[in-house]
């Protein structure tokens, strides 16, 4: 059974539920304090929260932590690396993913359930989804407004949509270019997403749509 490290920086706050979601998806998972080693793990998850209280810029300080060098190595080896919310911000700050996450178009924190359209089922995290599938999960961020100068290099994974999968301005909660909610690297083994799949992995909490992100990741890591 593949084993995942859920990295905990000072200020990370979605680590426990992310571990639970991975376990539910059939993987092993452990919380790993950012000063510990990533040896013996088959994949990495950077969970949500406010690492270093978002001082400087969201994710900026964590991206420069020593442990991120190890994450980069693992990413290069093709191991799955998933960044959720603050984890996505860390991945762009660490240049593991292109582009940047700017303050929301209405510049304050927004906690809300949204619909997403799956744009790419070929990544390490989307194998269980169908192309164009519309899924539901919550966002909770103040800086999720994705932007990249050169979109040709961006592999879009998830886009904010309405419940019928239409991608339009009304369904864009934060001003992201092309309604981008999640992107992957060229290889598809590093993915960053602002919505929280771990908060949509239990039917009582409103949706189980997010569980497939973790199931896909576990399945990919078995290969």
Q: Shortest Cβ distance from residue 29 to another protein (Å)?
A: 14
Selected binder of another protein within 26, 138, 165, 175 (CB under 8 A): 138
Region of 74-82, 121-129, 160-168, 204-212 interacting with another protein (CB under 8 A): 204-212
Assigned token pair, 47:
């969970």
Phi, psi of 196 (to 5 degrees): -105, 95
In the complex with another protein, the residue whose CB is nearer, 88 or 220, is: 88
Q: Which residues contact 101 (CB under 8 A, 6 or more apart)?
A: 58, 59, 88, 89, 92, 143, 144, 145, 146, 147, 194
By CB under 8 A, the residues from 103 to 122 that bind another protein are 108-112
Q: How far is CA 82 from the centre of its chain?
A: 5
Q: Is 198 annotated in the active site?
A: yes
Q: Is 164 helix (H, G, I), strand (E, B) or coil?
A: coil
d(CA 133, CA 149): 27
- Residue of 85, 93, 141, 219 marked active site: 85
Check residue 33 for interaction with another protein (CB under 8 A): yes
Check residue 60 for interaction with another protein (CB under 8 A): no
In order of 31, 38, 139, the CA distances from 69 in angstroms are: 18, 10, 28
Contact yes or no for 217/191 (Cβ under 8 A): no
Check residue 207 for interaction with another protein (CB under 8 A): no
Region of 11-19, 144-152, 181-189, 215-223 interacting with another protein (CB under 8 A): 11-19
Known catalytic residues?
A: 85, 196, 198
Positions touching another protein (CB under 8 A) are: 10-11, 13-14, 16-17, 20-21, 33, 48-50, 52-55, 108-112, 138, 140, 196, 198-199, 201-202, 204-206
């Amino acid at each position: 059974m593949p084993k995942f490290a859920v990295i905990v920086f000072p200020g990370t706050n979605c680590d426990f539920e992310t571990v639970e979601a991975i376990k539910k998806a059939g993987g092993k998972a452990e919380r790993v304090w950012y000063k510990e080693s990533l040896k013996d793990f088959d994949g990495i998850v950077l969970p949500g929260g406010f690492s270093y209280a978002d001082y400087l810029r969201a994710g900026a300080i964590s991206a420069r932590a020593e442990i991120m060098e190890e994450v980069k190595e693992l990413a290069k080896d093709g191991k799955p690396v998933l960044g959720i919310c603050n984890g996505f911000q860390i991945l762009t700050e660490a240049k593991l993913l292109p582009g940047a996450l700017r303050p929301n178009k209405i510049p304050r924190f927004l906690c809300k359930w949204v619909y997403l359209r799956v744009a790419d089922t070929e990544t390490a995290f989307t194998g269980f989804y169908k192309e164009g599938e519309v899924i539901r999960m919550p966002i909770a961020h103040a800086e999720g407004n994705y932007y990249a100068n050169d979109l040709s290099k961006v592999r879009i994974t998830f886009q904010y949509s309405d419940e019928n999968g239409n991608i339009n301005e009304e369904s864009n909660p934060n001003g992201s270019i092309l309604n981008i909610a999640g992107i992957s690297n060229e290889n598809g083994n590093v993915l960053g997403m602002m919505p929280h799949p771990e908060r949509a992995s239990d039917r009582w909490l409103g949706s189980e749509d997010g569980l497939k992100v973790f199931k896909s990741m576990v399945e990919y890591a078995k290969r």
